[in-house]
Structure 1
Amino acid sequence: MADLSALEICAGAGGQALGLELAGFDHALAVELDQNAVATLRANREWDVRSGDVADESVWNPKEYVGIDLLAGGVPCPPFSIAGKQLGAADERDLFAWAVELAGNVKPRALLLENVRGLSMPRFSAYRQHVKDRLKELGYWSDWKLLHASDYGTPQLRPRFVLVAMRHEDAQWFEWPDESPFVGSVGSALYELMAADGWSGAADWAKGATGIAPTIVGGSKKHGGADLGPTRAKAAWRALGVDALGVADAPPNSSHPRYFVPKLTTEMVARIQGWGAEPAYEWTFTGRKTTRYRQIGNAFPPPVARAVGTSIANALNRKGQPKDVADVENEVMHDHLYLALKATSTFLTERELVKLSGEKIDSATFERRMATLARDFVIDEVEQIEGRAYQLTGFKGFTGQADHERHARFAEERSRIS
């Protein structure tokens, strides 16, 4: 039996939840907005699953979960994805900073948040630093790491940017999981499913489908539907012998030509995501094909969640050897202009900020960088004798403010949010 408790926000269809369960966590609560994903969670486990906006305290009361062992979540990805235009704090779906504040209220022993690779890019270096600084204020050590699903037994690349935070007394026991690369190919992973209805070409297809899959793209109600991604991804699937223009209702059967180019079914997509390869990963998805595909495609692969969850559980149970947390922390890309702005409470000119930052940049680069920072932070400007001056006065992201514009945008867009 699990001896650690978990509270999961933005739980989706259960990829992270299943992985954490296999790592030894018992879910005290799972909260999810999408009704189809909620139905899937309830079809698979008898957890307390709440349906609705996770930031709405009428859906659940954070005060009831103070002291939980793990607060985890796969908060929405579009704010940091290229498909979502990388709006960051300006996107009504952005709950990353809110989740950090939730940790301050719930006071878990550990925090686990995962998101797309886009969050690791220079565009969000100041946002990431803001998150780390806030966690430090709340009493947590934290670290980011880019993980690839293929390094943890899953037959696709799927990079995910993962944040782990812990109280210092537990953090010294934490180690990122060792890699255990997937052995095989898309063909070997899917042969059984591709041959299930008697297609004579399944064996030849499997021999040609070498290598691992590109990242499964789940899409959203705003962007995309049930197909396997943009043009570049479709080309990669075609090289694997897969027609990526849509998802099939069933595998090819005996009536299909031997050298037919098949589409994947949702069951095959789930296998690529790490579900169903062995009994521990069996999972049932509810809803129509497109909703099933979105649930599967947007998930954190269960084997990856299990690997990270096991590392967290080991730290909380004090397994292994304690160490200096600096020895396991990855290098963080700092935005030195942001740090210069943050270091002072007065207005500074371009020349003063550049000097304080230690960077050598021209005026055009400075203006571009400041414009990027202004997408996530409130930066006041005044004209002085020495020229225009700047002061950092706030963070634009939603952290739980009752009067934040996120609420109006969320209400307006709710039917399209996923």
Structure 2
Amino acid sequence: MSRLAHSATLDVVEICAGAGGQVLGLHQAGFKHRLAFELDPHACATLRANSERLGMTGDWVREGDVASWNPAEIAGVDLLAGGVPCPPFTIAGKQLGATDERDLFAWAIEQIPLVKPRALLLENVRGLSMPRFAGYRQHVLDRLLSFGYTGEWRLLHASDFGVPQLRPRFVLVAMKPADFRHFHWPSPLDSPPTVGELLRDMMAARGWEGASAWARRATGIAPTIVGGSKKHGGADLGPTRAKAAWALLGVDGLGIADLPPGPGATFDVGPRLTADMVARLQGWNDGQFAWTFTGRKTAKYRQIGNAFPPPVAHALGVAIRAALLRSAPSRRLASTVEHDPVYRALRDHGGFMTHAQIERAAGAVIPPHDLDRRISLLRQDFEVESRDGAYKLLSFKAFTGQSDHARHSAFAEQRSRIS
């Protein structure tokens, strides 16, 4: 029986907390925040504005670069959680990974032996699950294993948890094996409501006569909502393909409205969404997931659009809590998944390996062009030395806390544009 088996609340420290989607979901799952770290001042203001709702007092929101904080301050927390920056991995970006100054995934992993949390929860975009980052993912699992933790990745879809949106998130959960045996990934719920069903009352709030007809047209779920970044202009609902998908639902994705449509309003495509409507599509509501957002329209929309949907965070929080309290059934742990046999071969050998040696270690035929491609991918995140047709895996390029890492100067130069 866990020492916490009779405890009603577990504590959590959250990094890169944003506007609080994960904060609220974990709170509703029975976690109490010790601290929340966030870079964006608008998001910090929103977190503070919801302190009373969360039962929080004092200086629990820390504004600034989380990598500058002392991990000893949060040592021994039950759960270390966060949604570290997505741009290093997003398919829509350059996928710079370990060489992106915004990458904090590797840094977060290296805090484990210092913080010693009972559980870890990190989420990011689907891009991190792609072949481009196979070596990066395996390095993360290797480091967790060296710290005595078992980790698993899982691609979760927000629409499986009542959120009417195509929002895949790639999630990492890790614990010590004794606790992880009791962790079960949350099961999908019933189908979510359609966009029209969810927003009809909000569209009709100012007397627009077309709200019911619009709702009957908006019979699908929303494309992935993107909050954008400070590098771009005002708020809109995403790139061209997303705007076309919104148009099929009768929504003008070229911007965000200040208010719902009024009486007599007509549209070529359809009405625009307000920030409050987008919040509802992200899983916030007037009941279990009620929340207050601060800031003007664009800042408010970016907070909402970049958030982790509270219902998804809640489902994960419930599963993690059950594992830590060992109230869920025990399961047999699978062996650590290997994502990249070329990375594994070079990692285990430690020296130079020829093509033939890599094939033997991988237990598979790897055509020359495929090996070249895999080495090229690895080189984006690792130093790889080549000599006379042989390869040697060297250091990981990511920022993991080094005081002399190039991340610091790049971060300082880009500070005003980093979301």
The TM-score by the shorter chain falls in which range? over 0.9
What are the within-5 Å matches in structure 2 for residues 323-402 of structure 1?
Answer: 323-326=331-334, 332=337, 334-382=339-387, 387-402=388-403
Change (3 A) 1:333 1:344: closer
Displacement of 1:93 in angstroms is 0.5
Structure 1 residue corresponding to 2:128, chosen from 105, 119, 125: 119
Structure 2 residue corresponding to 1:9, chosen from 7, 12, 15: 15
Displacement of 1:354 in angstroms is 3.1
Structure 1 residue corresponding to 2:65, chosen from 48, 53, 56: 53
What are the within-5 Å matches in structure 2 for residues 87-166 of structure 1?
Answer: 87-166=96-175
1:291 has 2:299 as partner: yes
Q: TM-score, normalised by structure 1?
A: 0.94
1:321 has 2:308 as partner: no
Counterparts of 2:194 and 2:376 in 1: how far apart (Å)? 44
Q: Give the letter aligned to residue 19 of structure 1.
A: G
Structure 2 residue corresponding to 1:198, chosen from 199, 207, 210: 207
| Structure 1 residues 303-354: Cα deviation after superposition (integer angstroms, max 9, x where no partner) | 000000000001111112212122xx8x946211111110112212233223
Counterparts of 2:292 and 2:264 in 1: how far apart (Å)? 28
Counterparts of 2:180 and 2:401 in 1: how far apart (Å)? 27
Counterparts of 2:217 and 2:306 in 1: how far apart (Å)? 27
CA RMSD for the aligned pairs?
A: 1.6
Q: Give the letter aligned to residue 339 of structure 1.
A: R
| Structure 1 residues 74-104: Cα deviation after superposition (integer angstroms, max 9, x where no partner) | 0000000022211100100000011111122
Change (3 A) 1:131 1:223: farther
| Structure 1 residues 4-37: Cα deviation after superposition (integer angstroms, max 9, x where no partner) | 0000000000000000000000000000000000
Tell me if structure 1 keeps the 8 A contact 2:346–2:392.
yes
For residue 68 of structure 2, give the secondary structure of its aligned residue in structure 1. Answer: coil
Gap runs ≥5 in structure 2: 1-6
Q: For residue 300 of structure 1, what is the aligned residue in structure 2?
A: 308
Counterparts of 2:326 and 2:61 in 1: how far apart (Å)? 30
Change (3 A) 1:157 1:109: same
Tell me if structure 1 keeps the 8 A contact 2:163–2:282.
yes
Counterparts of 1:93 and 1:267 in 2: how far apart (Å)? 28
Structure 2 residue corresponding to 1:213, chosen from 222, 244, 256: 222
Deviates more, 1:216-225 or 1:302-311: 216-225
Change (3 A) 1:391 1:239: same
Displacement of 1:259 in angstroms is 7.9
Counterparts of 1:209 and 1:217 in 2: how far apart (Å)? 19
Displacement of 1:365 in angstroms is 2.4
For residue 253 of structure 1, give the secondary structure of its aligned residue in structure 2. Answer: coil
**Shift >4 Å, 4+ stretches:** none
Q: For residue 262 of structure 2, what is the aligned residue in structure 1?
A: 253
Gap runs ≥5 in structure 1: none
Tell me if structure 1 keeps the 8 A contact 2:167–2:225.
yes
Q: Give the letter aligned to residue 286 of structure 1.
A: T
Tell me if structure 2 keeps the 8 A contact 1:201–1:259.
no
Deviates more, 1:243-252 or 1:314-323: 314-323
Counterparts of 1:381 and 1:228 in 2: how far apart (Å)? 45
Tell me if structure 1 keeps the 8 A contact 2:160–2:192.
no
Displacement of 1:260 in angstroms is 6.7
Counterparts of 2:8 and 2:124 in 1: how far apart (Å)? 26
Q: Give the letter aligned to residue 407 of structure 1.
A: H
Q: Give the letter aligned to residue 51 of structure 1.
A: E
Tell me if structure 2 keeps the 8 A contact 1:97–1:398.
yes
Q: Give the letter aligned to residue 192 of structure 1.
A: D
1:174 has 2:183 as partner: yes
Q: For residue 27 of structure 2, what is the aligned residue in structure 1?
A: 21
Q: Give the letter aligned to residue 394 of structure 2.
A: T
Deviates more, 1:278-287 or 1:228-237: 278-287
What are the within-5 Å matches in structure 2 for residues 49-88 of structure 1?
Answer: 49-57=61-69, 61-88=70-97
Tell me if structure 2 keeps the 8 A contact 1:19–1:303.
yes
Displacement of 1:2 in angstroms is 4.9
Counterparts of 2:233 and 2:219 in 1: how far apart (Å)? 27
Q: For residue 263 of structure 1, what is the aligned residue in structure 2?
A: 272
| Structure 1 residues 56-81: Cα deviation after superposition (integer angstroms, max 9, x where no partner) | 02xxx221221100000000000000
Displacement of 1:154 in angstroms is 0.7
Q: Give the letter aligned to residue 153 of structure 1.
A: G
Counterparts of 2:155 and 2:339 in 1: how far apart (Å)? 16
